[in-house]
Amino acid sequence: MEDVQIDVSPDTEHGVVAAPPTITFDVDPSAYRHWALSIDAPIATVTMRVTPDAGLRDDYELKLNSYDLSVDIELHDIVQRLRFEHPEVHAVVVTGGIDKVFCAGANIQMLAGSTHGHKVNFCKFTNETRNSIEDATANSGQAWIAAVNGTAAGGGYELALACDEIVLIDDRASAISLPEVPLLAVLPGTGGLTRLVDKRFVRRDIADVFATRAEGVKGQQALDWGLVDAIATRGRFDDVVRERALARAQASPRPDEADAITLDPLDVQLRDDGLHYRWVDVEIERSLGAAHVTVHGPTGEPVSTPNELLAAGSEAWIIATARQLDDAMLRLRFNEPELGTWVLHTRGDADGVIAAERLLRSHVDHWLVNEVALLWTRTLKRLDLSSRSIVTLVEPGSCFAGVLAELVLAADRSYMLHGGDPAGDSPPATIRLSETNDGSFPMSNGLSRLATRFLGHDDRLDDARRCICKDLLAVEAESAGLVTFTPDDLDWDDDVRILLEERNSFSPDALTAMEANHRFAGPETMETKIFARLTAWQNWVFQRPNAVGPDGALRRYGTGSRPTYDRVRI
């Protein structure tokens, strides 16, 4: 991650400093400042040892393994690299590198001095990273175990909750806690409360006591309440953790020995009007508050076997494009919050996209191919979970096929040009679904985007499935319910312009709430609960004076004076 400069322009409402103007998310392991990774196959140990003066900004210190976005960016990188670069790792132990301290949670001074938008985006990215830990346990054969070697407070316990097992040291001093409600007037990153009852099945009344007890819970009581899976004395702690990690490793389907790839640094060119990667371009249209994101289809011979994928490494289109799109979305989220509409385009050959993704269908049992499919799943979920209006434009020369057809299905609205290319350079626009669109990349609700689109209309879903492997022209795509509108070339420019102008005229808050409600129809899951509450409740709580006002809990924390609360319940 590159160094950033602090922007000290005040937030007009609360007098806090703003988030840094430029944040990058690509980091090399040699530049880690907060984590150490060691591997003794089949176990990897991830040790959190936060450098206090190496935060994203210089107006706070990351004491006692407290963290900010810079710490989470490194953790996100570690999770990705373990999955792609270390097939021999079957279990991952995460622990604290400071005596009697696991993690003190999100740094309070960082939160108090951040803009509202940065706080919410920070919580969202943190939860997405924890989801990737859970995904690695569930789908990659890398079970994560939290070795809580000392106090774990707030986000520290939330990190442990993301793991599949929690072992707490029983030394009469170390406690786990979620103290945000009693001390800070906010929620435990939202994910903490949800994981208590939805993942660990802690009884509601017990969860209430725990989440309002600032001092937390220790040893046997934590075990009795279901807050941890095991406790161990200091003398037995390391042995118990290793025994549990080895047991999980033995059940892993990952190979004991296999070639792997290296996730090479992303090559991105920063421009005043956007970003440029090898396969992804971002062009900014500030007058309309829009970012045009173009994904380019592959060229040349497709990678068709696992061995070819290993040889191509992270430069293979099927890997590189997902990584570049993911990075572009994160940069837009944090660095361009006023670009409220993301307009998605593709350019290239649909046959090439189908040929490139065929690998995902024909070698589903290969560990690396599985990781590529999971990477696309996480990247597309990141798109779903972004608080932006998503518009997809299907034009002549586009390649919305297979995995890239997900960009049409993910859109809040999609427009497809009816008729030929006005310039005469390309054949009419088409959409081509493949088998991957029918469940290979599930949303947070556990359904495919295709099934979510036709929720409650099984007949329409069956009709759409019959379109798989067909090149659908605009009239056919509209009839199948795959696009919203199909204007011809006479109306196209005006219709798109009016849409973007209209979107830019609406309240961003209302749009975020509306879109979040529409996107996740169907079953409620732990993921949808976490992000629905993050979008609505935490968004609201982080703006309330009880938390962020001059007399609020975040501003008063550590000063010795108590916060002043508006007692009205809303």
Selecting among 74, 165, 180, 395, the annotated active-site residue is: 180
Check pLDDT > 50 for residue 95.
yes
Please, what sign has the CA dihedral across residues 376, 443, 438, 86?
A: positive
Question: Annotated catalytic, 352?
Answer: no
Q: From the candidates 155, 192, 289, 549, which is the catalytic residue? A: 155
Query: At the topology level of CATH, where does 29-250 sit?
Result: 2-enoyl-CoA Hydratase; Chain A, domain 1 (3.90.226)
What's the rounded Cα separation, in Å, for the pair 222 and 414?
50
Q: What are phi and psi of 269, to 5 degrees?
A: -100, 125
Intrachain domains 29-250 and 270-513 with the same fold: yes
pLDDT band at 20 (very low <50, low <70, confident <90, very high): low
Percent of the chain clearing pLDDT 70 (strictly above): 96
Q: What is the pLDDT of residue 3?
A: 36
Express each pLDDT in 36-71 by its tens digit: 999 999 999 999 999 999 999 999 999 999 999 999
Q: What is the pLDDT of residue 542?
A: 86
**270-513 sits in which CATH class?**
alpha beta
Task: State mean pLDDT over 535-541.
Answer: 80
Q: What is the pLDDT of residues 284-326, one digit of tens each?
A: 999 999 999 999 999 999 999 999 999 999 999 999 999 999 9
Instruction: Render 194-217 in DSSP notation, one character per residue.
Output: HHHHHTS---HHHHHHHHT-TT-E
> Tokens 């670069």 — which residue?
85
pLDDT value at 225 more than 90: yes
Give the model's confidence band at 539: pLDDT under 50 very low, under 70 low, under 90 confident, else very high. confident
Average of per-residue pLDDT across 524-545 = 86
Catalytic residue among 106, 146, 320, 356: 106
Instruction: Quote the mean pLDDT of the chain.
Output: 93
Q: Is 308 marked active-site?
A: no
Domain boundaries, the chain: 29-250, 270-513
pLDDT at 483: 98
| pLDDT at 230 > cutoff 80 | yes
Is it the case that residue 2 has pLDDT exceeding 70? no
Structure tokens at 126: 């943190």
- Distance separating alpha carbons of residues 24 and 390, to the nearest angstrom: 23
Mean pLDDT of the 14-27 span:
68
Answer whether residue 270 shows pLDDT above 70: yes
Q: How confident is the model at residue 537 (pLDDT cuts 50, 70, 90)?
A: confident
- The per-residue b/e assignment along 341-354, b for 16 or more CB within 10 angstroms, e otherwise, is bbbbbbebebebbb
What is the rounded distance in angstroms from the CA atom of residue 415 to the CA atom of residue 393? Answer: 5
pLDDT tens-digit map of 485-520: 999 999 999 999 999 999 999 999 899 989 988 998
Q: What is the pLDDT of residue 502?
A: 97
At residue 21 the predicted structure's pLDDT band, cuts being 50, 70 and 90, is: low
pLDDT category at 535 given cuts 50, 70, 90 is confident
Mean pLDDT throughout 421-439?
A: 92
Percent of the chain at pLDDT exceeding 90: 86
Q: Has 283 been annotated as catalytic?
A: no
pLDDT digits (tens, 9 = 90+) for 556-570: 988 889 999 988 887
Where is average pLDDT lowest: 129-138, 181-190, 463-472? 181-190
Which pLDDT score, from 0 to 100, does residue 569 have?
83
Contact between 143 and 247 (Cβ < 8 Å): no
The DSSP output letter for 42 is T
At 11, the pLDDT band (50, 70, 90 cuts) reads very low
* 137 confidence band (pLDDT: 50, 70, 90): very high
Phi, psi of 29 (to 5 degrees): -55, -30
- Using 50, 70 and 90 to split pLDDT, how confident is the model at 8? very low
Beta strands in 297-440 (DSSP E): 341-347, 389-394, 400-401, 413-416, 431-432
Supply the pLDDT for residue 321: 98
Catalytic: which of 128, 158, 165, 357?
158
Where is pLDDT greater, at 124 or 7? 124
Q: Rounded distance, CA 443 to CA 74, Å?
A: 25
Q: Evaluate if residue 227 carries a pLDDT over 90.
A: yes
* 52 preceded by a cis bond (ω within 30 of 0): no
Residue pLDDT, tens place only, 154-165: 999 999 999 999
What mean pLDDT is predicted for residues 211-239?
A: 97
Look up 155 and say whether it is catalytic: yes
Please name the residue ranges forming H helices in 50-115.
69-85, 108-112
Average pLDDT over residues 185-192: 85
**If you average pLDDT over residues 440-467, what whole number do you get?**
97
Which token pair is 119? 């706080």
